[in-house]
Amino acid sequence: MFKQTNKDFDDIIKAIPDNFKVVDIGASSAPTRRADYIIDIVPYEGINQNQLKGPGEVRFSKERYAQHDICSRKPFPFPDKFFDYAICSHTLEDIRDPIGVLDEIVRVSKAGYIEIPSRMYETSYGIEGKHLAGNVHHRWIIDIFENRLRFTFKFSWVHLPFIARKTPPQGKDRVLQIEWSDSLDYYENFLNSGPEIIKYYTGLEGEKVVNNFYQKLFGKNYLIAKLEYFYKQSSGFKKFADNLQLKKVYKQFFKKV
C-alpha cells in the first residue's frame, strides 16, 4: 500500500519512531543522518559527508555500511523485514534495474519513503540545458498510473522541441514523493514500437497522429520511415527490394540509404 505525499523531507524523518531500524538505499552521495544503515555500491570512504540531509545526529557507521551493488540481483545482505523503515531518495531514476531494487527494498523493509523526480521534471527543458529535457543522466521517467508506480525508459525523443515542456516545474511539482507500508505495486512500462512511444509522450494515438509525428521527425510519414528502416536493417528485405528495383522506383525515399 502506498500514497503520494507532499510533506517536507525533514517532517517525514522526524515522524519515524526513535526505536525504528532505518536503512537508506543508494545513499552515499547524500545520506540521511537518521539512517542506522546504508547500502550502496561505493565504499564507505566514498560517502559525501558534505551533503548529509535530514534532522538529528548521524546514526550510521562504517560497521553498519553495506557496500553492495543494488542492481546485481543478488539479495541485499539482510533478512526479510529486517528494517522498520527504508529511505530511497533520488536513486531509482538513475539505476539500470529499479524493479529489482524495489523487490529487495520491499523484502527487507516493513515500510518506507521514496522520492524521485516527477514526470513533469523529466520532460521539461531548462533543468540542465536549453534543449535537454530533465537530467540527461536519468534512465527512467517515473509516475503513478492506475494506482501503480510506473517506470518508463527515458527515450531520447523526450528532448524533441515538439515533445518537451518549454519551462521547468517549480516547487513540489519537481518531485514525486511516496510513502508506503507492507507492500508496493510497481512495474516497467515496456513500449515496443514508435506509435506506443508517441502515445506515451503525447497522450494521442491514431494514424494521423503517428504520421504527423514522423513528418516532423524525419520529413516523411510512418510507412516510408519503416520501409527505410527495414531496408537498412534487414538484408532479406534489402535483397527483396533490390530484386524488384524498388530502390529505383522509390529513389526519392531511399536516397539517403
Full 3-state SS string of the chain: CEEEECCCHHHHHHCCCCCCCEEEECCCCCCECCCCEEEECCCHHHCCHHHCECCCCCCCCHHHEEECCCCCCCCCCCCCCCECEEEEECCCCCCCCHHHHHHHHHHHECEEEEEEECHHHHCEEEEEECCEECCCCCCEEEEEECCEEEEEECCHHHHCCCCCECCCCCHHHHEEEEEEECECCEEECCCCCHHHHHHHHHCCCCHHHHHHHHHHHHCCCHHHHHHHHHHHHCHHHHHHHHHCCHHHHCHHHHCCC
pLDDT higher than threshold 90 for residue 39? yes
Cell numbers given for 92: 531509482
244 band by pLDDT with thresholds 50, 70 and 90 = low
Mean per-residue pLDDT over the chain, rounded: 91
233 band by pLDDT with thresholds 50, 70 and 90 = confident
13-24 pLDDT, tens digit each: 999 999 999 999
Question: Which residues is 66 bridged to in the sheet?
Answer: 39
245 band by pLDDT with thresholds 50, 70 and 90 = low
- Which fold would CATH assign to domain 2-188? Rossmann fold (3.40.50)
Q: Please report, for the chain, the start and end positions of each structural domain, with discontinuous segments joined by +.
A: 2-188, 205-254
Q: What is the pLDDT of residue 219?
A: 79
b (16+ CB within 10 A) / e for 134-154: bbeebebbbbbeeeebbbbeb
Q: Please state, as a whole number, how many other Cβ atoms lie within 10 Å of the Cβ of residue 187.
A: 13
What does pTM read for this prediction? Answer: 0.87
**Among 60-74, 97-111, 215-229, the least confident range:** 215-229
172-203 pLDDT, tens digit each: 999 999 999 999 999 999 999 999 999 999 99
